[in-house]
Amino acid sequence: MGILRLKFLASILDEPFKQKAKKFILYLLRSNLYQNNQVDEYDINKIMMKVLVLRMASWAEYKPVLYQIKRAFQRWLHGYSLSPNLVPAIVEIGVSIGDEDDWNRVLKRYYEVDDDHSKKLCMKGLAASKNPKLLKRLLEIIMDEKQVELFFSYNKRLQNYKRLAEMEIERLRLKIRWIHRHQQQVQSWFRNICRELKL
């Protein structure tokens, strides 16, 4: 998961370095970028790699992969089946790059499906929106008494989330302190990599 650490480092760098870090991450993922979205459901390593590639390429705003994801997301919205291992990433990214109509269609699907897995998938997708107005609507829906009950039933591990969040915040603080102390080294490291790769 070194690529995820690179993403974390890139997210705190200045904008010119962030763009170079995105190019570097795409360079690392280049051999996996153009594979189709069908993955052997029994090969867990390939599944994890494909999900990582989709998420990282989306984060790096790589247009060809975003186009693939958008097409797959639209197919899912129209009821076509996709690789079940990739659907969560495709729905979350699809909503995050989609518009209000896409969000509303996922919300409609949330109300139409009966099984817990599909409801959870839709809820995570809805929460991936970058539109503050839509996120506010989602909170209003969740705050509805019946919806609160459903929300807690879908997220039975909520009591552990606070503890996990506190642990994650502490880890993040440690990482930020380390990066703050070593910022010159990190930027120098990215400069050298970008120079070598001619990015």
Asked if residue 71 belongs to a domain, the reply is no
**How confident is the model over 19-64, as pLDDT tens digits?**
777 777 777 777 666 555 455 566 666 667 777 777 777 777 888 8
Q: Which domain holds residue 167?
A: 1-25+159-199
Q: Is residue 48 included in any domain, yes or no?
A: no
Per-residue pLDDT at 93 exceeds 60: yes
pLDDT, mean of residues 122-130: 90
Joined together, the tokens standing for residue 121 give 């998938």
Extract the tokens encoding 120: 């959870």
Q: Are 43 and 35 in contact (CB under 8 A)?
A: no
Q: What is the mean pLDDT of residues 103-124?
A: 90
Mean pLDDT along residues 70-92: 89
Query: What is the per-residue pLDDT for 49?
Result: 72
**How many structural domains does the chain have?**
1
Q: Is 116 domain-assigned?
A: no
Question: Is this prediction's pTM over 0.85?
Answer: no
* Within a domain: 13: yes
Indicate the pLDDT class of residue 77, thresholds 50, 70 and 90: very high
Please check whether residue 62 lies inside any domain of the structure: no
Per-residue confidence (pLDDT) for residue 5, from 0 to 100: 64
pLDDT digits (tens, 9 = 90+) for 145-199: 566 666 666 666 555 666 667 777 777 777 777 777 877 777 777 777 777 777 6
Secondary structure element (H or E) that encloses residue 145, with its range: helix 145-154
Which of the four pLDDT bands, split at 50, 70 and 90, describes residue 117? confident
Rounded Cα distance between 195 and 162, Å, is 42
Q: Which long-range contacts (CB under 8 A, 24 or more apart) does 40-49 make?
A: 41/83, 41/84, 41/85, 47/85, 47/86
84 to each of 54, 87, 145, 160, 188, how far by Cα in Å?
Answer: 14, 5, 31, 27, 41
In a domain, 168, yes or no: yes
